[in-house]
Every structure is written in structure tokens, then in C-alpha cells.
Amino acid sequence: MRITCFLLTVFLFLLCRETVAQYTADKIVGQKQKYVSLADSLKHSTYPYLLPIWGQKVISKGFDLPFPMGFSAQYVWQQSDIIINNLQVGFNNGPKRNCDDLIRFDEATATTNGVNVRPDFWLFPFLNVYGILARSNNSTAVKCGLWIPDSSSSWKKIADINTKADFDATTIGFGLTPTFGIGGFFLALDMNFSWSDIEQLDKPAYIFILGPRIGKNFKFKGEQSLAIWTGGFRVHMNSGTNGSLPLSDLFPVNEWNKRIDSGYMKVANSQQQVDAWWNGLSDRDQQNPVNKAKYNTANTALEKAGQLLDGASQAASTLGNSTVQYSLDKRPKDKWNFLIGAQYQLNKHFMARVEYGFLSSRKQLIAGLQYRFGF
């Protein structure tokens, strides 16, 4: 099942494109002299940069703005459980057959380690726009079983499939972060869209991530501050995936015939058991709609298994030039997870932040550095 491993790893890689929005424009309020002095200074100052639009207007109303341009680099680790279904497989561009009843997934866990970079700018005082370029190393561990009926009323697992796939991936995207801050408290709604063009997929994979956050910024001496927040992380993606792989990528050449011969033998044994059960029924029991349905279901599954083996056998005869085509639907086990984060600002130019997501089947850690400047 290296096909499935590959696809799930692509999926997880895409999940990690989310990045943390920097601290926003902040309306200075408070009765302490330092706040009153800062607000008064902002109201009477001249804004020197082209961005954001309306920068002069908002500082005249007592808002403190970050530098308009920035560049950040972030390390990302994530581990997530994936649910897949509607798995279809075909060989050498022949017809694909649904394998949901034959291949049953017990567990699929994907892990990624990567780095993404993000240039950004404040288009408006309360809207940050950014681009994403990312590279990651990924692995996916899949545990599943191959099942066939041994009588019309029962199925048996004839093989356990435990495998792991590794690959590198690259993605690009962009994001928008509407934010608002007052008195050190802030709200942010991070949204980003990304696409990954990977050789084994028919078309780029797309994902949308939504990350609402609420937090508080604590000011220290000079320009130093610490922002802390909590929020959520939601994933939406195009669930359908299609692609093609060389047959030799799935198993070594010397294993193909052994696996195919073993499969034929197990299917034949199961067919004998199903037929023996059916022939052992009385005429009246054979007319029972329940027994008919069981018998037809078993025969359909065994016929499908035989057709897949026939396709694999034909492909194996020209293994060097053969391909396997696949399609499946996939989704995260949990759409949402909870997150907490913090950002330390050394000054208005340099910042460091970290964020951790948990309380679901998905866990993630993002840590990064940011540099901001005027424009």
C-alpha cells in the first residue's frame, strides 16, 4: 500500500502550510502616563511609509502599527491521523475497481518535518497579506488488512499490510489575516490557500486552512513585548486524489509473482468455501433473500479480487514499463484542533514565536523567526 502512504503524506505536508500572523495594529488606551504619552505622540506624528493604506489616518487616531513589510522562516512538525475511503486501483491505464471492501485501513499516521518561508506586507492597517513557499521531509505509516469472504456470512483477513513511505515535497500559496487590536488585546483570523504540484499526482493538490486566534500583548521595557494567544486550526481540502505510479515502486520485482500466486490461491480457497456453504443449503434456504444477498455479495467480492489479480498479473509480465493508476478520497480524522502560542518581540524589527496544536488526532509544532522593515 505504498500508493496510499504516498497520498497521505502529500495530504499531511499540505496541512503544515498554516503560519502564525504577527501581532497587529493596536489602539493605545489606558490612563497610565506612558500610554497617554504614547497615544499623544502617535496622534501628532507623520507616518513615513507607503504601506499600509490609511497608515497616517490610523496612527492619527492613536494606533501603534508594526513595520509594514516582513519576512519570516518557520520550522514545522506535525503528526496527524487520516481517514481514507473509495480506494480504486487499475493497471496500465485499464479500468479502475473499487477496493473498499477488500482493503480495510486500521490506522494511517502521517508525520512531517519542514521549513516554510513567508514574505508579507500590511495592505491595510487591519489586513496582512502573505505568500508561502515550503519544503518538507515526510513519512506516512499505514496499517491495513486485505480481506476476502470465506463464506457468504463471514470475511477473513488474509494479509496484514504494514508499510511506510518517505518523500520530499514543495508547495506554494498565499494567505490573508484580518486582525484588530485594542489595549493590547487582539483578534486574528488567519486564512491561507496552498497548492502542491507533485509528480505522481494528476493535478495540484489544494488545501484551505482557517486559524482564528484571540490573545493579549504585554509590553515591557522599550520595544520589547510578549504576545500570547489561543485559538483553533481547521483544515478543508479537495478530498479526491488521482495519480499514477510505476509498478516497480510498489514492490520489488522478485516479489510480484509470489504475491500474485499467493493471492490466486487464497481467492480460490475462499470461493470453494462460499460454494460449499451455498450448495449445503436446502432449496428453500437458497430462495431466502438474505442468503441470496450474502451469496451474491461474496461472489462479487471474490470476482473483484480475481480481476485485480488478473490486472496485476498482466502488468507484472512487463514490469519495467507497467504503471498502476489510483484514486481515493481522504480527510483528516478531526477537522479542528486547539492551539496555543506566543511571540516575543525584541524590538519592532526582530521577533520569535512558537505555537503548539493539540486536543485532537492532529498535533503540530511551529517555531519561527521574523524580521520586519519599513517601506
Residues 345, 350: Cα–Cα separation, whole Å: 6
Is pLDDT of 97 > 50?
A: yes
CATH of 2-247+325-373, one of 2.40.128, 1.10.10, 2.60.40, 3.40.50: 2.40.128
| 138: enclosing H helix or E strand | strand 127-151
Q: Mean per-residue pLDDT for 125-143?
A: 87
Is pLDDT of 9 > 60?
A: no
Residues 86, 103: Cα–Cα separation, whole Å: 10
Is pLDDT of 19 > 80?
A: no
Grid cell digits, residue 225 = 513585548
Domain-wise residue ranges, the chain: 2-247+325-373, 253-323
pLDDT tens for 41-60 read 777 788 899 999 998 998 88
pLDDT band of residue 27 (cuts 50, 70, 90) is low
Residue 161 near residue 20 (C-beta atoms within 8 A): no
Residues 267, 302: Cα–Cα separation, whole Å: 6
Residues 193, 178: Cα–Cα separation, whole Å: 15
Please report the pLDDT score of residue 364 as a whole number.
Answer: 92
Residues 120, 69: Cα–Cα separation, whole Å: 6
Residues 164, 4: Cα–Cα separation, whole Å: 10
pLDDT tens for 135-188 read 888 777 778 888 888 776 688 887 777 777 677 778 899 999 999 888 889 999
Comparing 265 with 168, the larger pLDDT belongs to 265
What is the residue-averaged pLDDT of the chain? 82
Please report the pLDDT score of residue 31 as a whole number.
Answer: 62
> If you ran DSSP here, which 8-state letter would residue 96 be given?
-
| 367: enclosing H helix or E strand | strand 362-373
Please report the pLDDT score of residue 30 as a whole number.
Answer: 60
Please report the pLDDT score of residue 38 as a whole number.
Answer: 63
Residue 352 near residue 368 (C-beta atoms within 8 A): yes
Please report the pLDDT score of residue 130 as a whole number.
Answer: 96
pLDDT tens for 270-315 read 889 899 989 998 999 889 998 888 888 888 888 888 888 888 777 7
The residue whose grid cell reads 494511517 is 108
Assign residue 54 a region: left if phi > 0, alpha if psi is -120 to 50, beta otherwise?
A: left
pLDDT tens for 329-373 read 778 888 899 999 999 999 999 999 999 999 889 999 999 999 999
